[in-house]
A and B are shown apart, each in its own frame.
Chain A
């Protein structure tokens, strides 16, 4: 069957198309080149005057896994205030900061998102993360497995294991957990907290293993590079939220030694310790460093004012921040010599100096980092704000007077100590399309999405033109998933389920001998039961895998 989208105005940065009127043809769920005129078109959509982009991709959103379910459990008040009724097509759900899985999938699709990635999968909890994402309809999903706080890796590095052995372990982990990337969270720090260390800066030595976070970062980024995994090491740096932590962030960039790394929710890592309150913006220093290092990409983790909940693998920093919990309750967990998690509810207030400055710092980063291909639009859902605030965030980037209006309402001392009022830059639609489509696809190694050229999956979002970008991005006119209309005027018309995106770098299966012995002696789960098979993904967990290519081992 041939489908034609006629007359839409395309923003397709991967193919350098900026606001050009082009027709799109779809067959068997993929975009195809213009067919011969003799071929009948079975369905066509007149999109004159409409904005057409590839489906949006969120590369960092906590939508599945144990810590999200703990947060749901802890926030009945959030769920009571935000319910979603069942319809003849869709299931019921609840929650704003931590929506139920079905509600999250529907809402993402209603905003034109077609692929989302859970950034913090504990290997031992991977089954749950995939089960939750399988129950998140409408979107394709994927995840990054957490390494760098597991006792096994730290022991290997401390013993001076060959890089090749570590590469095998990293590759094995990607296979066993059905993930597309590797993330390190507070390198070594979550583990050090289990030994009662309360801080671990980039060049501090771990209290037991006597290795530094710098060494862990370097080892893991080299492993991914050697294995040819497209997504560089996804790094949640040391000292999240600590005033003056921009030094750690700069050291983290330095630790990569030129290898590609992705620094996540950098807003939380761009703090100085200047001024009367010993808290200041160092966004300029960070942006300047990002501009100078082409191997670095970042996502922002913008905060928005209001109630949310912070969920993180960073037990050390979540524990340290528990005094800020609002409402006053919090949970932390040490997990299986693998990592941990912390859940701390949070309310960001615009009249609070620190919160207001956090808001400004996020925007400063967006506006001071030059290359939109290396900065991604995230709120670190739900840590900075729920993902539903993306349209509002896009407006802040595209509309300077709107931004300045809001700036005038926040804590005046924070506004005065920020550069924000002097930043004239506004994002164009083309740049928004880069940071929400083309660039995330590229950095994840997904050649089949994030663009509109023949061969791409026909994941497409069509928007009404509007002066207010917030309104425009809140409610697309149409969303296509694999060539089928699934959303019309912001409402689900066809519920569907996606697949799980994975990579499969080669490795020497001999590594299982060492892993098996370790599991046998120290773990409470056997290696055979730890690994998730493709059959299990498809028939048991309920989301088949889509394998994306690696570059090949070097």
Chain B
């Protein structure tokens, strides 16, 4: 629930630990410390443990403690001098992103998320091709055949089986009907234990072979001749059988994590999967379940898209938005020295630290963040869902989940810092 009021024991807490965004956690917090946590996975425990550990809340300029006022003044001064500021990281909640975009519009900044590479493997397919997708509650209740692509989804989204693929109750698909196919570089020893309850088949395929596998499946589904030479006999037979299963399934689902698919032109692999799904819908029902949302990549992208009309990787230097999913990649901009200031925003995880750059760096960061090289300005910010209420998007980009507040805290939200920065910038320009 979205709430500003603090109670010691809180039910139905939303977890921003990964894009599954489970909202059934029960937390007991006393004196700002975590007492107990129920239903959370390892990522949830790590998220809340880290967020609720006491940290120094003091802003820093060049590694020395300072006041918030001075940190804001110094940040505004740096922003004023910058010609090509880059706002990256963007690990924040909806209101943090709203504030970030207002300042970005004012400063002519370029915007990218720390997981932009993964995010844009999906976005580029949506931009060029579109897809047929589904959401968790549909999968829980309808799916009778589920293909999970790759081999990292269960580590990246630990409660995927319990919450989505094999729930206790389902409206239309009984546990006995449900089939799970793992299509990826698996060896049988490493399967997650909660898979055992399901009818599960492993089809071992390397990451780079996934687009071939999808192509073969497309061909088989539509009765066109296919070349199976890229696969061994056993895998080939499995793919033939899978094609038959896809055609006869009532509601098949193909899930992947684009962040896992970290190889050149992986967006084309995703497009192959999407085209397979589109073909299947000519005669039966099938849908994609792109797993994403971790570190608020979907959140900041959604807000950017409605406010600017474009996804992230958009620049505002010419006082209007210009988008390019390749040119505006933050790592490239830094490497090619096309930016002269980095503002790094990372409020959910202390591990997401700014990249190395010669340019002045402002960090609005998790209070537990530590640096090898001190940034010019570091302002510790509140953790959404712990220090302040907010909203963030889970994987499907459809359900913005409410985040509550768990403790009293003097840590400012990213949205508050952005408001202070904007006011300072407006003062300086006399507007």
Contacts and interface: CB of A to CB of B under 8 A. Distances in A.
B309 A128 contact: no
B221 to A, nearest CB: 15
Given A92-B105, A128-B302, A522-B169, A196 B310 contact: no
B98 A540 contact: no
Interface string A277-291: 000000000000000
Contacts of A101: 306-307
Given A93-B321, A135-B98, A525 B132 contact: no
Contact of B1 (A92, A338, A529): A529
B316 A92 contact: yes
Interface string A223-245: 00000000000000000000000
A219 interface: no
Contact of A196 (B14, B171, B284, B397): B284
B371 interface: no
A101 B302 CA distance: 12
A69 interface: yes
B24 interface: yes
A196 B4 contact: no
B169 A529 contact: no
Contacts of B375: none
B171 A540 contact: no
Contacts of B287: 333-334
Contact of A333 (B106, B135, B320, B390): B135
A332 interface: yes
A511 interface: no
B132 A332 contact: yes
Interface stretch (A76-84, A252-260, A375-383, A444-452): A76-84
- Give the interface size class of chain A: 35 or more
A204 interface: no
Nearest to A521: B169
A336 B136 CA distance: 7
A389 B308 CA distance: 22
A46 interface: no
Given A73-B123, A85-B320, A151-B171, A135 B306 contact: yes
Given A88-B431, A98-B309, A539 B320 contact: no
B292 to A, nearest CB: 13
Interface in B290-338: 302-303, 305-311, 316, 319-323
B142 A69 contact: no
Interface in B120-145: 123, 126-138, 140-142
B170 A333 contact: no
B323 A76 contact: yes
B35 interface: no
Contacts of B105: 86, 91-92
Interface in B142-164: 142, 163-164
B218 interface: no
A118 to B, nearest CB: 12
Given A93-B321, A131-B94, A535-B2, 9 more contacts: A69-B397, A72-B305, A72-B310, A76-B323, A95-B309, A194-B285, A331-B126, A522-B170, A533-B1
14 contacts: A72-B310, A83-B321, A86-B316, A92-B320, A100-B308, A100-B309, A124-B398, A127-B391, A127-B399, A127-B400, A331-B132, A334-B133, A337-B138, A535-B2
